[in-house]
A = this chain, B = another copy of it.
Amino acid sequence: MAGRPMANSAKTQPSIRILFGAAVALGPGKVDLLESIAETGSISAAARTMKMSYRRAWTLVDSMNKCFCSDLVSTATGGQGGGGAAVTDLGLEVLARYRAIEAKAARSVEAEIADFADLLVEPPR
């Protein structure tokens, strides 16, 4: 059967990047990492969950920490691959506010996205 309009089944997934000059202070990848550290209590476990190297995760955490007025993630002793990590109160606040911003942005364009979905066909032609 030929493709039919999808009606309202398209969804948006807005991802908000908060720019800091030319750099991204906070974006979807960093926020997902922050959330994963909050869930696992460990940078290395979060890195595994997100299929990135420990070094990459540590670099992202370090750069997030430095962009904010105080740390978002505090690390215990143990160094490379060891030690625990905790998301600070500020980190939890940043996480919650970022998710709220994402959700509000998505709600604001719900009607436009539903209309837009009429242009899509399922299955693809």
Contact = CB atoms under 8 A, between A and B. Distances in A.
How many of these chains are in the complex? 2
Interface of A: 3, 5-6, 10-21, 25, 63, 65-69, 90, 93-94, 97-98, 100-101, 104-109, 112-113, 116-117, 119-122, 124-125
Contacts of A101: 12, 109, 112-113, 116
Contacts of A68: 119-121
A39 to B, nearest CB: 22
Contacts of A119: 68-69, 90, 93-94
Given A69-B5, A104-B112, A105-B108, A122 B21 contact: yes
Given A3-B69, A125-B66, A20 B120 contact: yes
A17 B12 CA distance: 6
